């Protein structure tokens, strides 16, 4: 009888002993490795978020693709904060007329097939050195900080923000009021990249420069023209100009009133573009800009690999943007080549 009672007692006590041993082992693991406990884990222990850079990878792919392109030099301009791809195309004559710095529309690259490729290669065939520049990547919306206490647990505990938290939030808000706006910082980055582009072209002995911006790139081209108009001989070409969607971006209509360089404003005919062009023209007239000219393109360009676009842009640049001494020199060349002279 006693052996039966002992066996029955052991069978009842064994599960309890095993559960206690498991609990004791788990507690020992938590004490030896505090990082394994969600309550005691620190933010540093969490994996850092790495933001992908598709634009930079796209520029690398474009540079590799153009390695075999005839006469195109893919270079990188570096500033303190950015590294931008540039595509340099030398003029097809011994003494270039000048140089054109091309700035693309947002989300486009410096060899965009619809406009920048035919312009940068076509203008080079007609006596202009061209440098197409990738604009810096605009600042992304900040990722909100991680919350280590879930809303459900906070609601269950009935916790409320302390006075210290409230005062710190107020301090942060005051500090944000004194910070520089993101678009102001971005504008400074664009100016630095364009300054590096000008230095790159000046090393090749260029006296006359034209900023040519397409889409939103026209706004940044106008900003850079205003920035360097006192120190360089410049012209400005706006192609299908439109205002950037980011809040705080420079206003093109305001920039036009601050320019003292000749401006060529070319746009395709559609209802939105016509209204915007009328507003830009009115701003230029109010500012008494005598060297501001507008030109129109068809709403739908023909499938001619950019031939019409190149012809219209090149012709208007020659007519409205080239300085008088250069125009006189160009007019004298055909007379010198006439037979019998």
- Most confident among 32-46, 136-150, 315-329 (mean pLDDT): 315-329
Which CATH number characterizes residue 215's domain? Answer: 3.40.50.1820
Average pLDDT, the chain: 78
Whether 281 maps to a domain, the answer reads: yes
2 pLDDT higher than 70? no
36 pLDDT higher than 90? no
Cβ(56)–Cβ(137) below 8 Å: yes
Cβ(115)–Cβ(148) below 8 Å: no
CB atoms within 10 A of CB 33: 10
Task: Spell out the SS3 assignment of the chain.
Answer: CHHHHHHHHHHHHHHHHHHHHHHHHHHHHHHHCHHHCCCCCCHHHCCCCCCCCHHHHHHHHHHHHHHHCCCCEEEEEECCCCEEEEEEECCCCCCCCEEEEEECCCCCCCCCCCCHHHHHHHHHHCCEEEEEECCCCCCCCCCCCCCCCCHHHHHHHCCCCCHHHHHHHHHHHHHHHHCCCHHHHHHHHHHHHHHHHHHHHHCCCCCEEEEEEECCHHHHHHHHHHHHCCCCEEEEEEECCCCCCCCCCCCHHHHHHCCCCCEEEEEECCHHHHHHHHHHHHHHHHCCCCCEEEEEECCCCCCCCCHHHHHHHHHHHHHHHCCHHHHHHHHHHHHHCCCCC
Q: In terms of C-beta density within 10 A (0-12 exposed, 13-18 middle, 19 or more buried), how is residue 165 classed?
A: exposed
Whether 186 maps to a domain, the answer reads: yes
Whether 290 maps to a domain, the answer reads: yes
Where is pLDDT greater, at 187 or 164?
187
Strands 83-89 and 98-103: what pairing?
A: unpaired
Pick from 167-176, 227-236, 289-298: least confident: 167-176
Whether 279 maps to a domain, the answer reads: yes
Whether 161 maps to a domain, the answer reads: no
Q: How far apart are CA 193 and CA 224, in angstroms?
A: 10
Whether 199 maps to a domain, the answer reads: yes
Distances, alpha carbon 107 to alpha carbons 163, 222, 223, in Å? 45, 19, 19
Strands 98-103 and 128-133: what pairing?
A: parallel
Contacts of 295 (CB under 8 A, 6+ apart): 264, 265, 266, 267, 312, 316
19 pLDDT higher than 80? no
Whether 143 maps to a domain, the answer reads: no
Q: Which tens digit of pLDDT belongs to each residue from 156-169? A: 555 555 554 544 45
74 pLDDT higher than 80? yes
- Most confident among 14-18, 134-138, 217-221, 336-340 (mean pLDDT): 217-221
Distances, alpha carbon 104 to alpha carbons 219, 283, 286, 313, 333, in Å? 10, 24, 28, 16, 34
Q: Which domain range does residue 195 map to?
A: 72-135+181-326
Whole-number pLDDT of residue 38: 47
* Domain tally, the chain: 1
Q: Which tens digit of pLDDT belongs to each residue from 239-290? A: 999 999 889 999 999 999 999 999 999 999 999 999 999 999 999 999 998 8
Whether 248 maps to a domain, the answer reads: yes
């Amino acid at each position: 009888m006693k052996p039966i009672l002992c066996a029955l007692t052991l069978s009842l006590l064994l599960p309890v002993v095993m559960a206690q041993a498991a609990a004791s082992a788990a507690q020992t693991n938590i004490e030896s490795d505090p990082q394994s406990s969600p309550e005691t884990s620190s933010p540093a222990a969490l994996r850092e978020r790495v933001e992908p850079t598709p634009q930079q990878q796209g520029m690398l792919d474009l540079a590799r693709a153009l390695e075999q392109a005839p006469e195109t030099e893919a270079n990188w301009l570096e500033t303190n904060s950015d590294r931008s791809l540039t595509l340099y195309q030398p003029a097809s004559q011994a003494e270039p007329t000048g140089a054109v710095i091309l700035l693309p529309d947002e989300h486009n690259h410096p060899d965009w097939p619809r406009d920048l490729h035919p312009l940068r290669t076509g203008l080079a065939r007609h006596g202009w050195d061209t440098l197409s520049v990738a604009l810096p990547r605009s600042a992304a919306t900040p990722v909100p900080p991680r919350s280590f206490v879930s809303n459900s647990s906070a609601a269950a505990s009935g916790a409320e923000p302390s006075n210290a938290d409230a005062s710190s939030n107020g301090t942060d808000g005051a500090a944000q009021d004194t910070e520089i706006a993101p678009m102001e910082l971005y504008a400074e980055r664009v100016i630095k990249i364009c300054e590096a582009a000008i230095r790159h072209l000046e090393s090749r002995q260029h006296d006359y420069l034209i900023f040519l911006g397409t889409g939103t790139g026209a706004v940044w081209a106008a900003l850079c023209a205003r920035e360097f108009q006192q120190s360089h001989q410049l012209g400005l070409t706006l192609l299908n100009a439109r205002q950037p969607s980011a809040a705080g971006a420079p206003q093109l209509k305001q920039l036009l009133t601050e320019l003292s360089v000749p401006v060529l404003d070319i746009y395709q005919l559609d209802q939105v573009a016509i209204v915007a062009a009328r507003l830009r023209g009115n701003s230029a007239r109010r500012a008494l800009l005598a060297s501001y000219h507008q030109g129109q393109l068809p709403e739908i360009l023909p499938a001619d690999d950019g031939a019409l676009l190149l012809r219209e842009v090149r012709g208007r640049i020659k007519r409205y943007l080239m300085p008088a001494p250069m125009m006189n020199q160009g007019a004298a060349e055909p007379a010198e080549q006439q037979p019998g002279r």
